[in-house]
Chain A
Amino acid sequence: MNLTLALFLIVVGITLVITGWAARRTRTTVQFWAAGRGITGWQNGLAIAGDYMSAASFLGIALIAFNGYDGFMYSVGWLVAYLTVLFLIAEPMRNTGKYTLADVLSYRMSPIPVRSAAAFSTVAVSASYMMAQMIGAGSLIKILIPTLDSTLKPWFNWTVFGTKLDPSITVVGLLMMVYVIAGGMVATTWVQIVKAVLLMGGAVLLSFLVLLHFGFNLGGFFDAIAGVKDKATGLNFTDPGILYKYGQKQVFGIDLALLDNASLGMALILGTAGLPHILMRFFTVPNGKAARQSVVWAMGLIGSFYIMTTFLGFGAATLVGKTKICATVTAGCKPNSNLAAPRLAEYLGTQFFGGTGGEFLLAFIAAVAFATILAVVAGLTLAASGAFSHDFYVNVIRTHILHGHVSDREQVTVARITAGLVGLLSIWLAARVGATANAAALVAGVAFVIASAANLPAILFTLFWKRFNTWGAVASLVGGTLVTIWLVAIGPGWTVPVNEHPAFPLQNVGIVSIPIGFALAIIGTYLGELARADRLAEQKFHEIDVRALTGLGAEPVPAAG
């Protein structure tokens, strides 16, 4: 049997065993959404790292491998982002929230509009993030184990609403549905922990081998990197300026490349604190202190990993080379940046352990990448179905519109059904978009911008601004989301081929849409005051103010059983 396929099946097997174990501990709502609040600080730290280091982390490696230093900017932003989470978000979230972002907001705000708006932005963020992951997973499987894709083809040879299903994407989607529906947050958490350990293990191993190749001589390593030149700019790979071509175009008298880079940075360091699937992780720990500890564990792991992207990315650039990072290494291969890490693994394995070693290491890294994607999509499915079932169905429709009481059993059932629907929808959407998108990375970037333009102002102002009210929250949640999508749509990145004269000049729209999101929150609040619409929000501030910082009345840890 094919080695890669065997390792894939082992990974799938491990995750299914975890799910089976988790399913027996997933009966109540608090178990389904928050793993019974029984995850410890370090476990949650690992799971956050597992949830966060997505296919995009392989992308970070790829960008370094193809563009040198400028790709490292992603790695830096992804770590610094956690300072925002640590200082302002993690503990207050745990102290005031229950299962979702909207729980925190609706303490002060009018529940129907705010929960609906938060459900909307959550689905927008999770859907764009998920699209990127699923498309990445599909292409990875097709390239690394073509046999799997072709074997599965007859089984999934269906056309649904005019879109032909993609076998690889469908398999990933079905697996993630099994994890979430059967095992809820418990299974998702442990799949993420296993993945984090595998990913760190893989990164340490490859970094060690890269350094071994250079005789642990960093100077020699950097000499080799400096020897790699970018054709278009003539710069060597240690230099900034290859991806962001400074000094070429200007907008409003400011360098376009500089704006693009700063804009990316802004979305990265502010967006993380608004990603619903990351925020949700803070509800799984027993208290605020554990939430704080989990961020520190996550920062240790995430930082170490992103420092290692230097060895992996530059290693791929020097040892394999841009022209050989492609699907099949033959004459006229088309470079595929997703494969930087797998090709590096193949090269190092062959060098140190011979042909079989290369094959094995390639298969191992491919399996790690696969596990990575599975863990992330499971977290995203949970976040999106939380928005649908907990926020919209249970709290808006059943509780506030129909004034009913929703039993625990019904809540879990609805949660499972929505998770299934979210899974099916994303399989279909990914197959539909996947055919046309060379823009998987861009789609993931959009998720960060929506999170920082729509969710972050709503969260921060709810926690820390007394006058903030329902109008402001809805304005930022809905407005921030729509403005971001609109700017991306008229920008240069969306259309294929790239639009030469876009209506909006920046590929990374954060630097414009994030301030707009905050401004909308403020303007909405003052308009709400003028309309005397929402007096209660200001009164409820006293409660959230005290509770966020002290943990008084925080959701308790339910008794086991």
Chain B
Amino acid sequence: MEIDRPPPSQPSARSEPGLGEGGPPGEDVAYWEGLEHTEEFRRLVAARMRFVLPATVFFLVYYFLLPLANGLAPGFMRTAVIGHINIAYLFALSQFVMAWLLAWFYIRKANNVFDRLAAMVRDRAARGRSSQP
């Protein structure tokens, strides 16, 4: 397998002589592609997608609902709920809560799951190197 060899010494920027060139491009590509196809990396990508994709869609929709509601139903949004505090203000305030909650969920997920999976990919890469005679 391609990753069972020393990794490119320096992950190089694309053909930038003078700033640290890696191995021949062909070998580099095979190395990274090999790593990309490992079970560990696939699990990391899948775990991130499962969280990031729905969360991004959710916050975009939730955010744009605010200007849409203000523009399409200003009368409804002006409805007072508690004293003079109206729906428009409470909805805007809820955006702060939404953003903080999503950030908190993400951090929890990243610390507990993504970091562990990423470490497994890095281990795999290191093992590839040490198995070399």
Pairing of A with B:
yes
**Chain A residues near B8 (CB, 8 Å)?**
553
Determine if A83 is an interface residue (Cβ-Cβ < 8 Å). Answer: yes
Contact partner of B11 (CB less than 8 A), chosen from A82, A262, A547, is A547
Residues on B with beta carbons closer than 8 Å to the beta carbon of A549: 41, 44-45, 48, 114, 118, 121
Q: Which residues of B contact A218 (CB under 8 A)?
A: 83, 85
CA distance A540 to B104 in the complex (A): 33
Interface residue B56 (Cβ < 8 Å from any Cβ of A): yes
Let me know if B121 and A299 touch, CB within 8 A: no
Name the one of B25, B74, B125 contacting A539, with C-beta atoms under 8 angstroms.
B25
Which of B33, B84, B92 contacts A72, CB < 8 Å?
Answer: B92
Q: Are A303 and B36 neighbours in the complex by a CB distance under 8 Å?
A: no
**Interface-forming stretch among A104-112, A121-129, A335-343, A477-485?**
A104-112
Indicate if the CB atoms of A76 and B32 lie closer than 8 Å: no
Chain A contact-residue range equals: 35 or more
A303, B100: Cβ atoms closer than 8 Å: yes
B28 near A543 with CB under 8 A, answer yes
Q: Does A246 have its Cβ within 8 Å of any Cβ on chain B?
A: yes
What mask results when residues 215 to 237 of chain A are scored 1 for a CB within 8 Å of chain B, else 0?
00011001101100000000110
Contact A546 B41 (CB under 8 A): yes
A307 at the interface (CB under 8 A from B): yes
User: Which residues 233-288 of A have a CB within 8 angstroms of B?
Assistant: 235-236, 238-241, 244, 246-247, 255, 257-258, 261-262, 265-266, 269
Q: Contact between B13 and A111 (Cβ–Cβ < 8 Å)?
A: yes
Within 8 A of B (CB), among A81-122: 82-84, 86-88, 103, 106-111
Nearest Cβ on chain B to A391's Cβ, whole angstroms: 12
Contact in complex: A107, B13 (CB < 8 Å): yes
Contact A546 B71 (CB under 8 A): no
**A303 vs B104: C-alpha distance in the bound complex, in angstroms?**
13
Query: Does residue A406 face the partner (Cβ distance < 8 Å to B)?
Result: yes
Residue of B59, B92, B104, B122 ringed by the most chain A CB atoms within 10 A: B92
Nearest to A79 among chain B residues (CB) is B99
Residues in B neighbouring A238, C-beta threshold 8 A:
78, 84-86, 88-89
Extra contacts besides A73-B66, A83-B55, A106-B14 (10): CB < 8 Å: A103-B13, A219-B83, A225-B84, A239-B77, A244-B71, A269-B60, A307-B93, A542-B32, A546-B121, A553-B7
* 22 A-B pairs whose Cβ atoms sit less than 8 Å apart in the complex: A80-B98, A80-B99, A83-B99, A88-B52, A106-B13, A109-B14, A110-B14, A218-B85, A240-B88, A246-B74, A289-B110, A289-B115, A296-B103, A296-B104, A299-B100, A403-B17, A543-B11, A546-B41, A549-B41, A549-B45, A550-B121, A550-B122
